[in-house]
Chains A and B, each alone.
Chain A
Amino acid sequence: MIMEDKFSKTDIQKPENIVYKRTDLLVDRPLSYCPGCGHGTAHRMLMEVIEEMDIMEKTIGVSPVGCSVLAYDFLNIDMLGAAHGRAPALATAIKRMWPDHFVFTYQGDGDLAAIGTGETIHACNRGENITIIFINNGIYGMTGGQMAPTTLPGMRSSTSPYGRDVPTMGHPLKITELVAQLPGVYYVTRQSVHTPSNVRKTKKAIRKAFELQKENKGLCFIEIVSNCNSGWKMTPVQSNKWMEENMFPFYQLGDIKLDGKLVERKETVEKE
C-alpha cells in the first residue's frame, strides 16, 4: 500500500491544466530498461515528435538487437525487429518501397558500430532517406556490460576488466564523425537526454531529422550519448555525472553536419 503524502492532491490537478504528460504513442506498460536509463527518455522524445507531426499512420520503425530489442513493445507504432546490426538494411528496403512513409532505425552502439558497421555505412553512403537514432552508452548493456566499439580507453567492462587497453583492444570508434564524411548523409548531430535542456535539444534534433526526411534530403543521423548505470556500475545520477566528465570530452555534443556541410569543430582526442 502506497502512502499518500499531504501534497498529493491539489486543485491544479485538472485535465485542462496538464502541461506535460507521457504521450499515448508510448504503450501503457512499464519499460524494460534499468532505472535511470536514457533509452526511456529517447523513446519518449521520438514518440512525441511523431505525435506532434501527426505521422503515426505513415511511420515505420526498426528496432535493433541490444537493450532496446523490445523497443517495439513500447513504441505504439508499426515496428520491425531486425537481426543484430541489420536495421539499416531493413530500413533501406522499407523506405524504397514506401517512399512517402517515415522510416527510422533505433540502434545501440554494438548493433550500429560493431556488427552492423557495414549496413550503417552503406545505408548512409547511399543517402537513404531514413533517420538513424543511435544510442551510444559505450557498452553492451543487454548481454551484461561487455566492451563496445565505443568503450573509452581505460574504461572497464566485463570483457575489459582492467580497462580498455588500446594497444590490444583497439581505439573507440567515432562512427558518427565517420558517417558525417559521407555525401549521402545530410544532417548529423550528437545529443544527450540527461538534463532538461539536453532533452529539449534532442527532441528538436529528432524533429529536424523527420522534417528533412519529408524533403528527401538524405540520411539524418542522431547520436544520443547515454548512460548505462548498470553496466558502468554506478547509480543513475552518478552515471550521468560520469558521462559528462568522461564521455562528453571524447564524444563532443553538438551538430556535426548541417545542411549537408560539415560543421567546424575541435577534434577531440583520447585520454588515457
Chain B
Amino acid sequence: MAKIKGDIVINTERCKGCEVCIAACPFTVIQMSKEVNSKGYHFAMKVNDECTGCTNCALVCPDGVITVYRAKVATE
C-alpha cells in the first residue's frame, strides 16, 4: 500500500508570526514557536506528521515562506 504524505518547510527567518497559516491548516500541523527569529518574531513551525501537502498554509502565507512537498510513501 502507498499513501500520500505531505510536508512543509518554513523559512523561519522570513516568517513574521502572523498565524494566518495556523487557521488555514486542516490538520493542526502548525503552531507558533516559543523562540523568536532575528527580527524578533515568533515563527510558525511544524509540530506533527499529519501534513497532507494540501498547500493551504502556503497559499495564505502573506510572506510566502512555506514550501510544500507531497509524495507517495509506502506503508507497512
A41 touches B47 (CB 8 A): no
A17 touches B71 (CB 8 A): yes
Please give the number of chain A residues whose Cβ is less than 8 angstroms from any Cβ of chain B in the complex: 41
Question: Which residues of B from 1 to 29 have beta carbons under 8 Å from A?
Answer: 5-7, 9, 12-14, 16-20, 22-24
Q: How far is the CB of A64 from chain B (nearest CB, A)?
A: 18
B70 touches A36 (CB 8 A): no
B71 touches A33 (CB 8 A): no
**Could you give, for residues 33-60 of chain A, a 1 whenever the CB lies within 8 Å of some chain B CB and a 0 otherwise?**
1111111110010000000000000000
* CA A20 to CA B67, docked complex, whole Å: 6
**Shortest Cβ distance from B43 into A: residue:** A2
A-B interface contact total, Cβ < 8 Å: 117
Contact A196 to B60, CB < 8 A, known contacts A2-B13, A7-B46, A12-B6: yes
**Shortest Cβ distance from A193 into B: residue:** B60
Main secondary structure of the interface of B (DSSP, over half): mixed
With contacts A2-B37, A13-B7, A21-B68 known, what are 13 further pairs, Cβ within 8 A? A3-B33, A7-B46, A10-B7, A13-B69, A14-B69, A14-B71, A17-B70, A18-B69, A20-B68, A31-B63, A44-B64, A196-B56, A199-B59
- Point out residues on A near B: beta carbons under 8 Å: 2-3, 5, 7-8, 10-14, 17-23, 26, 30-31, 33-41, 44, 193-196, 199-200, 229, 235-237, 240
- Point out residues on B near A: beta carbons under 8 Å: 5-7, 9, 12-14, 16-20, 22-24, 33, 35, 37, 41, 43, 45-49, 53-56, 58-71, 73
